[in-house]
Structure 1
Amino acid sequence: MMTPSILRLFKKNGIRLLAVGTLLSSLTTVATAEDVPRVASLSKAQTSRASAAKQNKYTFIMFWKDQDDATKSMWSTLQQNLNGKQDSTSIVAVNTGDPKEQKIIEEYGVSRAPMPLTLAVAPNGAITGSFVKQINADYIQQSFVSPTKARCMLNLQSRKMVLLCVTPSGSTGIPKGVQDFKAVPCYKDVVEVVTVSRAEPAENGFLKELEVPASQGSSIVFMAPPGVMIGQFNGNVTSQQLIAELKKAGKSCGVEGCKHCKE
């Protein structure tokens, strides 16, 4: 079974890693609200997802092949747990044998995945949960993440590095070291700078997951695909320090710039 333990820290061989979703290596693209084609060309599932995104809703997409007990149970569990949440969720079933739904099946790369399979998709297109064979109320609830967590997840799933800048209350500035790193030619297109206020209540859980210290100053969390925690730094970090830590990650980082940038 796949669980939505995305962006949770663990260690392997001494390297701090992030669980970034078990299906991501097979995904071909991660669609955002801006990426979807015109409504006239959308399938039923694509239309449901696009409509939900516009309304800031999550979409739970259940892919299935056979009308077996596992499929019936998963669908029933989804309906029971999402009933009454129409204001925040949308649910759609996709038969992998339906030729009209081949685009979304190819998009998520699930044609050969074990079935049934449910993906939880945030309004911005990030996959926040993936479940094979079974699903339950706890897993469904954990699929709902904070806006900043969804943004970080989307960038990692899009094969981009993330520099998460956690700022003090009332501060919106980006540390100079982060700006300088973003300005390096071979990094600028493969890194996304995301800012979040330490005082934002909705992000408390996410910051705890990342083990961000409860300090008064700025904190920088450096993440890279497929799920590498490059490091955490204070607001005085320099671009040279960020580059040095990135190079230490070496092949663990799933971005070409990690291995080939000469800066």
Structure 2
Amino acid sequence: MKRMTITTRLLVAFTAAVLCLVSAEPILAATALASESIPEGPAGVAMRNAAAQDKYLFVYFWKQSDPPTQAMRAVFEKAAGQMNDVADAISVQITDASNAAMVKKFGVSRAPMPLALAIAPNGAITRGLPVKFDEQQLKASVVSRGTSHCLKALQDRKLVLLCVKHQTGPNDFPGAYEFTQDERYSAASQIVRIDPSDSSEHGFLQSLKIDPSADQGVMVVLSPPGQPVATFKSDVTKDQIIERLAAASASCCPGGQCGPGESCCPGGNCEPATK
């Protein structure tokens, strides 16, 4: 029982420490708190309909119809109109009571306006574009399926065990499977599998410094808000994963103190590394 408590604390400390050291974009920090439920109102209906068609939903949040808001709406509508095969679009005034649930869900009541939000079919927020943006930025918010699955798990505050291998099967990455099946970690971790032969995933894999042409499988652990914190071969064991996460936790805030020049936990109170 004591061992369970210690290892659980290690995982919590590790996640908290990484969050201390990595600054998320403001919009991702807000949307990471979004619940699984789809909000009521016209925007919620649009979300549900887009997801049912395996399409993105572009949401244009705005407060007042001033010239800057109107100008950006024109950019938004032009870009969305060119992508109606992969995305639906909706305009949401944040002061409209019928949209209150949508505004609350994504925590945008105090966000800079206007704000364009891209929501993948699985509910992941793939891009938040406040105040001023161009058509290309909105188009770039449509990401690969593997990317959106990783984003969704990270926004749910989970560790992602990204398993990359050609022709991935149920017996590949046994350590990752055992880790996520362990009752100590099952609620706080998720496996995402990617076949590197899928060309749509190549940009994402290269951003993680993974060679899509490599024959050997690789697993990358990602922590909210999206920081790669450990890389393993496909035959890694559960104990090796736990050991590496414990080491990463200890190195973030050794002894509970933030290192010189490092971003710190709120108030400087990092959880001490478990000995």
Same fold (TM over 0.5): yes
After superposition, the Cα gap between the structure-2 partners of 1:102 and 1:156, relative to the gap in structure 1 and judged at 3 Å, is: same
Does 2:27 correspond to 1:23?
Answer: yes
TM-score, normalised by the number of residues in structure 1: 0.81
Instruction: Give the equivalent residue in structure 1 for 2:202.
Output: 204
Instruction: Give the equivalent residue in structure 1 for 2:16.
Output: none
Q: Deviations over 1:128-159 (max 9, x none)?
A: 01011111122112101001110000000010
Distance 1:167 1:73 in 2: 45
After superposition, the Cα gap between the structure-2 partners of 1:28 and 1:192, relative to the gap in structure 1 and judged at 3 Å, is: closer
Instruction: Give the equivalent residue in structure 2 for 1:36.
Output: 38
Give the letter aligned to residue 52 of structure 1: A
SS of residue paired to 1:23: helix
- CA positional deviation for 1:95: 0.9
Whose helix proportion is higher, 1 or 2? 2
Matches within 5 A, 1:139-150: 139-150=137-148
SS of residue paired to 2:185: coil
Give the letter aligned to residue 27 of structure 1: T
Instruction: Give the equivalent residue in structure 1 for 2:244.
Output: 245
Distance 1:145 1:18 in 2: 22
Instruction: Give the equivalent residue in structure 1 for 2:54.
Output: 56
Q: Deviations over 1:83-140 (max 9, x none)?
A: 2432211111111111111101000011111111111111111000101111112211
Q: How many residues align?
A: 237
Q: Deviations over 1:48-99 (max 9, x none)?
A: 1111111111111111111112211111001111224322111111111111
Matches within 5 A, 1:102-251: 102-169=100-167, 171=169, 173-213=171-211, 214-250=213-249
Give the letter aligned to residue 197 of structure 1: D
Conserved 8 A contact 1:148-1:203: yes
Distance 1:83 1:31 in 2: 29
Distance 1:140 1:168 in 2: 31
After superposition, the Cα gap between the structure-2 partners of 1:93 and 1:43, relative to the gap in structure 1 and judged at 3 Å, is: same
User: Mind listing any 5+ residue stretches in structure 2 that lack a counterpart?
Assistant: 1-18, 254-264, 266-270
Higher relative contact order (CA 8 A, sep 6+): 2
Conserved 8 A contact 1:116-1:132: yes
User: Mind listing any 5+ residue stretches in structure 1 that lack a counterpart?
Assistant: 1-14
Whose strand proportion is higher, 1 or 2? 1
Conserved 8 A contact 2:32-2:154: no
TM-score, normalised by the number of residues in structure 2: 0.78
SS of residue paired to 2:163: strand
Conserved 8 A contact 2:103-2:109: yes
Identity of aligned residues (%): 30
Instruction: Give the equivalent residue in structure 2 for 1:86.
Output: 84
Give the letter aligned to residue 224 of structure 2: P
- The 10-residue stretch of structure 1 (135-144 or 154-163) with the greater mean CA deviation from structure 2: 135-144
Conserved 8 A contact 2:60-2:90: yes
